Amino acid sequence: MQIITGPNMGGKSTYMRQVALIVLLASIGSYVPAAACRLGPIDAIHTRIGAADDLANAQSTFMLEMTEAAQILHSATPHSLVLMDEIGRGTSTFDGLALASGIATHLHDRTKAFSLFATHYFELTELSTRHGHAVNVHVGATESGNDIVFLHEIQPGPASRSYGIQVAKLAGVPAGVINHARHTLDALESRAGEDETQVDLFAPPPEPLQAGISQVEQALGNINPDALSPREALDALYQLKRLVG
C-alpha cells in the first residue's frame, strides 16, 4: 500500500490513473510505457476517484463515496489493484479521518490488495510506522516566494504540507480572502501546537462485550463499592444513569 500525499493539482490522481492503465495494458499483453514492469495476476481494478452528487438517485457525495468504498471492501482480493482518492472528504473532518483510517487498515490487514491511497489527512502517514507493507510517497512541490511550483514527480516519504492556500491563489481567489486565510491558518497551527497529544488512529478497537452482558452490567462489575469515596460513588451513579439513558 502506498499512502500518497501532496498538494491539489500536484498529480496524485494522475499518478494513480497512470498505474491503473499500465496494469491494464500489461494484463492484456500490450506494450507498457515503462522502463520495466513486473506484474503478477490481477483479478480486478477497483477505483474510488472523483466526487459528485448523484441527484437522480438522491445520493450525496459522501453517500456515493461510502457506497463505492463498501463495494470495494467486499469485493477486492489480494490479487486486486485498489485506487482510493481522498476517501472521507465528503463529511466532517473527524468522521472522514476516522473512516479513512479504518478503510486503509482493512485494505492493508484483511484485504491485502495492492493499494494506492491518496489523502490530505496527514495523520494517515502514521500507517507506515505500524504496518509493514505500507509506505509513504508524495508528489513533489516547492515554493517560489508566495507561489507554488509543481514538480510532477513521485518522491519518497510524506508531504511536508498541503499548500492549499497557494493553490487557491493560483485559482484566482481574491487577495483579501487569501490574506484572511493565511492569518487564520497561522492561528490554527499555533493552537494545534499547544496540544501534542495524537490519537492513535490504527490501534485495534476494544473487544466487544461478552454475550448476554449489557454495558450497565459490565460497568457495575467494575465497581468496588467499598473502595469508593462519596464523590466517586456519585460519579459512578451518574455514569450508570448515562448508560441507561
pLDDT band at 229 (very low <50, low <70, confident <90, very high): confident
Torsion angle, alpha carbons of 39, 157, 120, 2, to 10: 20
Q: How confident is the model at residue 25 (pLDDT cuts 50, 70, 90)?
A: very high
The H or E element that residue 193 is part of is: helix 175-194
Cβ contact 76:82 at 8 Å: yes
pLDDT score of 168 more than 90:
no
- The position carrying cell 439513558 is 245
Residue 240's identity, in one-letter code, is L
Ramachandran angles phi, psi of 156, nearest 5°: -70, 155
Mean pLDDT of the region 188-217: 66
Give SS3 for 235: helix
Q: Is the pLDDT of residue 207 over 80?
A: no
245 vs 179, more confident = 179
Whether the per-residue pLDDT at 212 is higher than 60: the answer is no
- CA–CA distance, 205 with 201 (Å, rounded to integer): 10
Q: What is the pLDDT of residue 237?
A: 85
Q: What is the pLDDT of residues 31-87, one digit of tens each?
A: 999 898 898 899 999 999 875 555 555 567 788 888 899 999 999 999 999 999 988
Domain boundaries, the chain: 2-162, 215-244
Burial 180-189 (b: 16+ CB within 10 A, else e): eeeeeeeeee
Which residue is listed with cell 450525496? 60
Q: Say what the pLDDT of residue 232 is.
A: 82
pLDDT, residue 103, reads 93
Task: Find the mean pLDDT for residues 95-100.
Answer: 89
Mean pLDDT value of segment 116-133: 89
- Secondary-structure class of domain 2-162 per CATH: alpha beta
Mean pLDDT along residues 115-139: 91
Q: Is 81 exposed, middle or buried (0-12, 13-18, 19+ CB in 10 A)?
A: buried
Average pLDDT value for residue range 186-203: 68
pLDDT at res. 206: 66
pLDDT confidence of residue 84: 94
Q: Summarize the confidence of residues 216-234 as an average pLDDT.
A: 80
pLDDT number for residue 195: 57
